[in-house]
Amino acid sequence: MSQLSPQDLLTQLKWRYATKQFDTSKSIPDETWSALATSLILTPSSFGLQPWHFIVVKNQEIREELLPHSWGQKQVTDCSHFVVLAAKTSMSEVAIDSFLKRTIKVRGGEIDQLNPYRDMMLGFIGQMDESKQLQWAKLQTYIALGQLMTSAAVLGIDACPMEGINPTEYDRILELPEKGLTTSVACALGYRSAEDKYATAPKVRFEMSESLTLL
């Protein structure tokens, strides 16, 4: 049985918190990291188009360079694995065709059979200007952020999502624009420090009745 019980899921989701202080002496083991990397890859996206790229920064020099552009949040340098989730800045016909080619490689068949699907995707993408395409791609990266954080939680790995970063500086340091990418959001992963007092602070959420309506 590879599933979690509802109670165990809740235990893990309540255990997680936005880790402020990581234990710098601990590193995520290979097998666990491999599952987290795969959780990013397996993230569902609109039409399956995966308009993203994930940069995992282990190199300490690059992290030091990113730190001043991260509101000084030490998680960038102190965590085990620092992930930058980048979005494709625009969706071209080429991107759609490389996805369709991949589909045929994985599922077999002839690429022409996918023409109706191709037309639908081109129609969807074509109705958006570049700025809308980027917004759409960023939304997809946030699904990946959610999948990554929930996956980490159920594996007992700590995480801190980070929106407070300077995308322009991140883009420059990680050389993203030349790859048609831009920084969307980041996530530090690793193990909480025993000194992080936020670990035991009660979680602040609105009452369920304020955030959820049953019709």
- Kindly state the number of chain residues that form the binding site for a copy of itself, as judged by CB under 8 A: 77
Among 25, 106, 116, 194, binds a copy of itself (CB under 8 A): 106
Alpha-carbon gap, residue 110 to 113, rounded angstroms: 6
Residue 76 in contact with a copy of itself, rule: CB under 8 A: no
**Of 48 and 126, which CB lies nearer to a copy of itself in the complex structure?**
48
Three-class DSSP category at 22: strand
- Classify the phi-psi angles of 183: left when phi > 0, otherwise alpha if psi is within -120 to 50, otherwise beta: beta
* Assigned token pair, 89: 């800045």
Terminal alpha carbon distance of the chain? 34
Among 99, 167, 188, 193, binds a copy of itself (CB under 8 A): 99
Among 147, 172, 180, 199, binds a copy of itself (CB under 8 A): 147
Stretch of 72-80, 143-151, 189-197 contacting a copy of itself, by CB under 8 A: 143-151
Non-local (6+) Cβ contacts of 25 within 8 A are none
Among 140, 182, 183, 193, binds a copy of itself (CB under 8 A): 140
**Owner of token pair 């602040």:** 204
In angstroms, what CA-CA distances link 17 with 32, 82, 128? 19, 16, 36
Minimum CB separation from a copy of itself for residue 6, in Å? Answer: 4
Minimum CB separation from a copy of itself for residue 47, in Å? Answer: 9
* Assigned token pair, 150: 């929930």
Using CB under 8 A as the binding rule, the residues of this chain from 153 to 192 that contact a copy of itself are: 154-156, 161, 163, 174, 185
Residue 6 in contact with a copy of itself, rule: CB under 8 A: yes
Among 94, 107, 127, 194, binds a copy of itself (CB under 8 A): 107
Using CB under 8 A as the binding rule, the residues of this chain from 18 to 37 that contact a copy of itself are: 18, 31-32, 34-35, 37
Alpha-carbon gap, residue 85 to 161, rounded angstroms: 11
**Owner of token pair 């995480």:** 159
Residue 150 in contact with a copy of itself, rule: CB under 8 A: yes
